[in-house]
Amino acid sequence: MTHIGVVAIVLSVGLPLLALVIWSFAFRWTFPDLLPSEWGGSAWTYTFGPNSRVVEGLWNSLVIGLVVTALAIAVGLPAGRALGLSDFRGKTLVEWLLLMPIIVPPIVATMGIHITFIRLGLAGTYLGVSLVHLIPTIPYFVLIMASVFSNYGVELEETARTLGANRRQVFLRVMLPAIMPGIVVASMFTFLISWSQYVTTLLIGSGRIITLPLVLFPVISGGNQANAAAISLVFVAPAIIVLILSSRKLSQDSAIMGGFGRL
Amino acid sequence: MTTSADLGPSPGPQVVPARSLPRPQPTVRRLAGHLRIPLMLSPSVLLVVVLFGGGMLVGIGQSFGYFPTIGLEEWTFEHYANVLSDPAFLRSLWVTFRIAFIVTALSSVIAVGLALILRETFAGSRITKFIFQIPLPVPHLVAASGFVLLITQSGIIARVAAGFGLIDRPSDFPILVFDQAGVAITLTFLWKEVPFIGVVVLAVLQSIGPHYEEIARTLGATAWQRFVHVLLPLIMPGVISTSIIVFAFTFANYEIPLLLGVRSPTTLPVLAFYRYQDPDLGLRPEAMAISVILAIVSVALLFVYRRLARYAVQ
Amino acid sequence: MAIRSTRWLAVAASLSLVVAACAGAASPAPQSEAPGTSAAPSPAPVASPEGPPTYATWEEVLAAASGTTVNWFMWGGSDVINENVDNDIGKPLKEQFNVTLNRVPINDTADAVNQVLNESAAGVKTGGSIDLIWINGENFRTLKEANLLYGPWAEDLPNAIYVPWGDGAIDFDFGTPVEGYESPWGHAQFVFEYDSAVVSEPPTTFEALQEWIHANPGQFTYPAIPDFIGSVFVRHLFYWAAGGPEPFLGAFDQAVFDQYAPKVWDYLNDIEPDLWREGTTYPQGPAMSDLLANKEVAFNMAYAPGNASLQISQGVYPESIRTFVMESGTLSNNNYVAIPFNAANPAGAMVLANLILSPELQLAMADPDRWGWEIPTDPATWPADAQQQLASFKRGVATLSAEELAAAALPEPRAEWVTKMEAGWIENVLEK
């Protein structure tokens, strides 16, 4: 049973990615050839050449992803604590409100959001793009942190306070270490959601800010499989590094995701 | 390399006391001041309600025919009527529901099954667990293109089949992409959503530890009974909340069915997207009406599901 | 009015008269000299609060453009086009005019339309984020009718002398009068692509195609509408049904539509059971190249005669792919660039649009080893050496000759016909 499961996991995860790797080096590869009849590195030359804008997009995506993550922590941490530690009237309503960006198809809100951002002078700025990415990440960040806090022993804080710790010390020495694994996981989701945003980045970035999805998505529809595969892999690679960095937290600190939101 | 995780107790800072199992209701904690909770919630809630909710008003207005940018200023139900009377609408609603339902059900079941396997320690369990999580950061669109390369009638698997002499022509290979049943769509969603639910279930299973099951075993419970009566109630809250997100996401997604599905009948989000992208701006209100109906149906279904699931758990 | 050329109104009036009188018939381009040179000198660019700046002379445009960046939103799915634009347009733009090109890759022209639309809704009347859009006929009509374009300017470009303005094929974009609100940058023509290893003699009439499809079930299909190419195929059939494009060049007429549409739907429904996948579905446009390359089907279609040669050189197509057009002719149109009403840098955009029309750049675009495009300018107006160079080019291995293409060119119908044909296909073929 275990072996079947392991084989199923490895094959189903690995094969689509392997297909991308082989295709990224293919020059001419048609049915029924098992392997490309001609190999080439032109897709990779293009990907890292100046005209694909991949390197620029990579850099922008990285910076914006980090800013979004920082913003999400600042905004989402208190909300997660409130939802996880307290019961109050309207809690269910708050949870549903936070789910709105997932439930409502994005096209309903994009024009309105764009207009708001233009009026606020945020269009075409890094801050604007980061803020617009923040919207879809909030549900994930807050709901994950809510579940983390619902398993958090808040008594420790009281103990620390009776022992003379001030607020700052309680925050830094008691709460932060306890919820750190949860923050890492929630941050990973936040970063990855920001990493994949296309429509909002194009609109709010107004063409001044080129991120990786802006470069990748047109290429996927462009019909050149080798280029699409190569850029897809560039797109996935840093995301997998983020996963490696956070995977220990993801499955090790068991109770982090335990009550995930408890919607 | 910190590729994977240990099983058993965490060696890191023991942040979570063993007794802190997922509780059905969080304990009410004492917090100073009545304003504290609203203050803590308001940045997140305001961001979503003001920016997203405010943005939605424009779209909702358009669905009722208020679109001053192109000179439409009369409120009307006409676009809803048009959409609802389109024979393609009900079929598409059904297709949308079918895909979202199948994906949600299958990914929940598979995720629980794989999590049960992955919580054991075996040779290679660390790396397997890491591989299990790889799809999490891969965008849906990239996953979709990977599946296209793999399972179309002239894809890599078909080529392997041809190499073994199993098929002669692409048309001999089973139709898995652009198919009426939505195989490729379902596979791509499963590939993405199984790890999402699985990671959560795995975390719960590991926090539970073997203790409860051992008690049940000494009381003579079979493996199946232990699963149904001990584990399932404990992992259900996590499964319910992640599956709500999976259903909501799948129900509203247009990219995957657009890329991998048949042209007709397609899903409601795709129908909305076609109208949204049309050079004729007069079709925008219909795109919005479809999306609003979609959101309402989604909320209604999720509400019922949440009720039923909670009832079943209790 | 963007460029206050004193002669502009007269030119426009005479143009529309000429066009109305003899749609399609070539007439001498009214401009005998670059308009900027004859315009009376006037004050420096005016940045009015109500809209973008306007310019009186080309020298003013050049001066205003120098040191600026042009944000050009264009479809970014082709590595070849991206590289060519950056190298062949971006570099000279910087070197000769000190204008920096910011090529913004988009997935769909609708993305750019949304940008302009939302900015308009937010009251952004100047300093908008798009300076230039590579635009298609339907979206041009949308933006023009919504008064979201800057202009008119196109006929006042110095290099407009190389453009056959006054020819119906240039003056109308999908039936919408261009009137100087967009400038051509490429010429496109619809061709069928086929695998000569599978099809020895391509069917060059729709009757022959129908027979071929029935004789070779599963080997033909066309992209599902709203795919652009699928839509062209259906339009092509309307021309076949009516014996030519004429009925569809004027305003939409339901009676005329009803007269020809049944024949088209009958044809498409007749071939449907013998299409790829027995007609149970129709592929997305980009998937068609793979279907052809992998011999799942024997035909593809492209709105670029040089596409097949390019795909062969890119390793996407096998070397046996060739192209053909129908004996009764084939649809053609021009690619244009337009400036949004609120462009921050219309001067830079005009400098770019002008550069594209220079014989030097048009040569690069016509070169099968570089762009492999058809060009909208008239080489007869070029300097002699440029003409010689053009004549020396060898066509791509799968590209039809310029003469053959020119002889087959048919105009596109008016955009409102396209909308009805697409809706009709969905109702009568897809959802029947």
Residue C29 pLDDT? 35
Give residue C405's identity as a one-letter amino acid code.
Answer: L
**CATH number of the domain where residue B206 is located:** 1.10.3720.10
Q: Which chain B residue shows the shortest CA-CA distance from C121? A: B69
* A254 CB-contact burial (10 Å; exposed 0-12 / middle 13-18 / buried 19+): buried
Q: A–B: how many Cβ contacts below 8 A?
A: 352
Residues of A in contact with B205 (CB under 8 A): 254
Residue A67 pLDDT? 97
Residue A251 pLDDT? 52
Q: Is B238 on the interface with A (CB under 8 A)?
A: yes
Q: Do A107 and B59 touch (CB under 8 A)?
A: yes
pTM: 0.88
3-state secondary structure of C409: strand
Kindly give the residue spans of alpha helices, DSSP state H, lying in C67-158.
Answer: 79-84, 91-97, 109-121, 137-145
* CB proximity list for B18: less than 8 A, separation 6 or greater: B207, B209
Q: Which chain B residue shows the shortest CA-CA distance from C137? A: B279
Residue A252 pLDDT? 53
* CB proximity list for A201: less than 8 A, separation 6 or greater: A129, A132, A133, A209, A211, A213, A214
Q: Is C423 on the interface with B (CB under 8 A)?
A: no
Query: To the nearest 5 percent, what fractions of chain C are helix, strand and coil?
Result: 45, 15, 40
- B139 and B237 in a single domain? The answer is yes
- A154 and A30 in a single domain? The answer is no
Q: Which chain B residue shows the shortest CA-CA distance from A5? A: B114
- B85 and B57 in a single domain? The answer is no
Kindly give the residue spans of alpha helices, DSSP state H, lying in B27-77.
Answer: 36-46, 54-63
- B109 and B52 in a single domain? The answer is no
b/e string for B85-112 if b means 16 or more Cβ within 10 A? eeebbeebbebbbebbebbbebbbebbb
Is the Cβ–Cβ distance between C140 and C151 less than 8 Å? no
User: What is the spatial distance between Cα A142 and Cα A260, in angstroms, rounded to a whole number?
Assistant: 10
- Domain boundary residue among B76, B95, B129? B76
* CB proximity list for A1: less than 8 A, separation 6 or greater: B117
Q: Is the pLDDT of residue A253 over 80?
A: no
- B238 and B121 in a single domain? The answer is yes
Residue B1 pLDDT? 31
Best of A33, A115, A122 to substitute, by most chain C Cβ atoms within 10 angstroms, is: A115
- What values do phi and psi take at C156, rounded to 5? -95, -5
pLDDT, tens only, C290-304: 999 999 999 999 999
Distance of CA A57 to the CA centre of its chain: 16
Q: Could you write out the DSSP letters of every residue in A181-193?
A: HHHHHHHHHHHHH
Best of C75, C79, C86, C311 to substitute, by most chain A Cβ atoms within 10 angstroms, is: C79
- B66 and B84 in a single domain? The answer is no
Q: Do A215 and C105 touch (CB under 8 A)?
A: yes
- B228 and B99 in a single domain? The answer is yes
Question: What CATH code would you report for C191-331+410-430?
Answer: 3.40.190.10
DSSP conformation class of C343:
B
Q: In terms of residue numbers, what domain contains B264?
A: 79-150+178-313
3-state secondary structure of B93: helix
Closest CA of chain B from C171, distance in Å: 20
In-domain check, residue A45: no
Q: Which of A38, A50, A207 is the closest to C315 by Cβ?
A: A38
Residues of A in contact with C109 (CB under 8 A): none
Q: Which chain B residue shows the shortest CA-CA distance from C145? A: B70
Query: What length is written for chain C?
Result: 432
In three-state form (DSSP H/G/I as H, E/B as E, the rest C), the secondary structure along C295-338 is CCCCEEEECCCCHHHHHHHCCCCCCCEEEECCCCCEEEEEEEEE
Give residue B43's identity as a one-letter amino acid code.
Answer: P
Nearest to C287 by CA among A196, B278, B174, B144: B144
Residue segments in chain C with a per-residue pLDDT below the cut of 70: 1-51
Per the prediction, chain B carries an average pLDDT of 86
Nearest to B232 by CA among B248, B251, B253, B213: B213
Closest CA of chain B from A50, distance in Å: 23
Distance of CA A107 to the CA centre of its chain: 20
User: What is the spatial distance between Cα C374 and Cα C305, in angstroms, rounded to a whole number?
Assistant: 8
The pair of three-digit structure tokens given for residue B256, joined into one six-digit string: 């995957």
The pair of three-digit structure tokens given for residue C219, joined into one six-digit string: 């080997």
User: What is the spatial distance between Cα B300 and Cα B118, in angstroms, rounded to a whole number?
Assistant: 34
Domain chopping of chain C, boundaries: 8-186+334-404, 191-331+410-430
- What values do phi and psi take at C398, rounded to 5? -110, 10
Q: Which chain A residue shows the shortest CA-CA distance from C289? A: A223
- B70 and B106 in a single domain? The answer is no
Best of B159, B172, B263 to substitute, by most chain C Cβ atoms within 10 angstroms, is: B263
Residue A153 pLDDT? 80
Q: Which residue has the tokens 């980009």?
A: C286
pLDDT, tens only, B49-104: 999 999 999 999 999 999 998 889 999 999 999 999 988 899 999 999 999 999 99
- B142 and B209 in a single domain? The answer is yes
- B95 and B54 in a single domain? The answer is no
Residue segments in chain B with a per-residue pLDDT below the cut of 70: 1-33, 314
- B146 and B47 in a single domain? The answer is no
3-state secondary structure of A49: coil
Q: In terms of residue numbers, what domain contains A11?
A: 1-40
- Domain boundary residue among B28, B55, B76? B76
In-domain check, residue B183: yes
Q: Which residue has the tokens 């009958």?
A: C266
Residue C35 pLDDT? 38
Task: Mark residue C304 as left, alpha or beta (left: phi above 0; alpha: psi -120 to 50; beta: remaining).
Answer: beta
In-domain check, residue B200: yes
Residues of B in contact with A8 (CB under 8 A): 114
Q: Which of A16, A115, A217 is the closest to B143 by Cβ?
A: A16
Q: Is B28 on the interface with A (CB under 8 A)?
A: yes
**Model confidence band, residue A249 (pLDDT cutoffs 50, 70, 90):** low
User: What is the spatial distance between Cα A128 and Cα A113, in angstroms, rounded to a whole number?
Assistant: 11
Which residues numbered 280-339 in C keep a CB inside 8 Å of some CB on B? 280-284, 287, 290-291, 294-296
- B104 and B233 in a single domain? The answer is yes
pLDDT, tens only, A68-85: 999 999 999 999 999 988
- B248 and B112 in a single domain? The answer is yes
Closest CA of chain A from B220, distance in Å: 23
- A13 and A139 in a single domain? The answer is no
Nearest to C237 by CA among C216, C219, C210: C210
- A12 and A115 in a single domain? The answer is no
- Whether the upstream peptide bond of residue C226 has omega within 30° of 0, thus cis, is yes
In-domain check, residue B28: no
Number of domains in chain B: 2
Residue B212 pLDDT? 82
How do C132-135 and C69-75 pair as beta strands?
A: parallel
Closest CA of chain A from C189, distance in Å: 19
Task: Fold for C8-186+334-404, please state it.
Answer: D-Maltodextrin-Binding Protein; domain 2 (3.40.190)
C8-186+334-404 and C191-331+410-430 in the same fold: yes
Q: Which of C218, C294, C430 is the closest to B263 by Cβ?
A: C430
Q: Do B2 and A105 touch (CB under 8 A)?
A: no
Q: Is A242 on the interface with B (CB under 8 A)?
A: yes
* CB proximity list for A136: less than 8 A, separation 6 or greater: A101, A102, A106, A193, A197
Give residue C97's identity as a one-letter amino acid code.
Answer: F
- A25 and A114 in a single domain? The answer is no
Q: Is C409 on the interface with B (CB under 8 A)?
A: no
The helix (run of H) or strand (run of E) holding residue C19 is: helix C8-21
Is the Cβ–Cβ distance between B236 and B186 less than 8 Å? no
Q: Which chain A residue shows the shortest CA-CA distance from C121? A: A115
- A97 and A120 in a single domain? The answer is yes
Residue B44 pLDDT? 96
Residue A240 pLDDT? 83
Residue B278 pLDDT? 92
Q: Which of B17, B59, B141 is the closest to A109 by Cβ?
A: B59
Task: Mark residue A184 as left, alpha or beta (left: phi above 0; alpha: psi -120 to 50; beta: remaining).
Answer: alpha
Q: Which residues are C46's β-sheet partners?
A: C54
Q: Is B141 on the interface with A (CB under 8 A)?
A: yes
Q: Could you write out the DSSP letters of every residue in C182-227?
A: EEEEEEEE-EEEEETTT-SS---SHHHHHHHHHHSTTS---PPTTS
User: What is the spatial distance between Cα C268 and Cα C224, in angstroms, rounded to a whole number?
Assistant: 12
DSSP conformation class of B22:
P
pLDDT, tens only, C149-189: 999 999 999 999 999 999 999 999 999 999 999 999 999 99
- A11 and A141 in a single domain? The answer is no
Q: Which residues are C131's β-sheet partners?
A: none
In-domain check, residue B251: yes
Q: Do A53 and C130 touch (CB under 8 A)?
A: no
Is the Cβ–Cβ distance between B293 and B231 less than 8 Å? no
DSSP conformation class of C71:
E
Q: Which residues are C332's β-sheet partners?
A: C189
A contact chains, 3+ CB pairs < 8 A: B, C
Q: Which of B20, B133, B288 is the closest to A255 by Cβ?
A: B20
- A36 and A54 in a single domain? The answer is no
Kindly give the residue spans of alpha helices, DSSP state H, lying in B119-182.
Answer: 125-133, 140-151, 156-163
Q: Do A103 and B242 touch (CB under 8 A)?
A: no
Q: Do B59 and A108 touch (CB under 8 A)?
A: yes
Residue B23 pLDDT? 42
In-domain check, residue B17: no
Closest CA of chain B from C110, distance in Å: 6
Nearest to A113 by CA among A205, A192, A195, A191: A205
**Model confidence band, residue A260 (pLDDT cutoffs 50, 70, 90):** very low
Q: Which chain B residue shows the shortest CA-CA distance from A2? A: B117
Q: Do B154 and C295 touch (CB under 8 A)?
A: yes
Residue B6 pLDDT? 28
* CB proximity list for B63: less than 8 A, separation 6 or greater: A108, B79, B80, B285, B288, B289, B291, B292
Residue B22 pLDDT? 42
Whole-number Cα distances in Å, B51 to A108, B60, B79, B221, C247: 12, 14, 25, 53, 49
In-domain check, residue B9: no
pLDDT, tens only, A188-227: 889 989 999 999 999 999 999 999 999 988 998 787 889 9
Number of domains in chain A: 2
User: What is the spatial distance between Cα B86 and Cα B99, in angstroms, rounded to a whole number?
Assistant: 21
Distance of CA C165 to the CA centre of its chain: 15
